[in-house]
Amino acid sequence: MKVLVACEFSGTVRDAFIKKGHDAISCDLLPTEKPGPHYQGDVLDILDDGFDLMIAHPTCTYLTNTAVQWLYAPDNQGKILKGKPRWEALDKSAEFFTKLLNANIPQICIENPIPHKYAVARIGRKYDQLVQPYMFGHPEKKATCLWLKGLPKLKQTNNVFREMQKLPKSQQQKIFYMSPNKDRWKERSRTYQGIADAMAEQWG
């Protein structure tokens, strides 16, 4: 299968598919962290290159429910985009998301955190499935939504919810408690190996 893993710098999903014998390539504006087939540039340049399956992880900054409050803050171009400029950024992000969702590729999965209602309205529909890392062998919580086209829902492979509950909150929600540093967003956004493996196993 010819697989495009869009908006991926980590190579995690790409390499899971390659391991299963597929012809997979990742694409990101950033270079790939791990050597392997990678297109560094805008994914819209290669969307029509005849892929059978695309898994995409577009930037969630302006779509995610956890940051919805900034839409109603006074306009401010400081560190965090607020007010009107944020609504404009939301429009652009939702447009990009929709282009991926409507791409001419038979099987598509787009992954993102829980969106706010303004994002859902612009994208045109709610997600199809919500998964958690603890369903795939990682004793952690991070709600991850999947919008699916031509693909069945992802089945959990190793549910470690009980083991996770014995851990302190700071470990269960490692991502949330991560201390601030310049690469924190990368650590927070990297796809979990268990989820990548399940995608390659079940959709490859």
* Closer residue to ligand SAM in complex, CB, 20/167: 20
Residue type, position 32, single letter? T
The least distance separating ligand SAM from the CB of residue 26, rounded to whole angstroms, comes to 8
- Inter-residue contact 87 to 73 (CB < 8 Å): no
**Binds ligand SAM (CB under 6 A): choice among 4, 8, 14, 47:** 8
Residue 59 binding ligand SAM, by CB under 6 A: yes
**Binds ligand SAM (CB under 6 A): choice among 191, 194, 195, 199:** 191
Residue 10 binding ligand SAM, by CB under 6 A: yes
**Binds ligand SAM (CB under 6 A): choice among 4, 12, 51, 135:** 12
CA nearest 115: which of 69, 64, 66? 64
* Closer residue to ligand SAM in complex, CB, 68/167: 68
CA nearest 100: which of 53, 68, 142, 64? 53
Q: Residue 82 has what DSSP assignment? A: B
Residue 32 binding ligand SAM, by CB under 6 A: no
Sheet holding 144-149, edge to edge: 38-40, 23-28, 2-6, 53-56, 107-112, 144-149, 129-131
Residues that bind ligand SAM (CB under 6 A): 7-10, 12, 27-30, 42-43, 57-60, 189-191
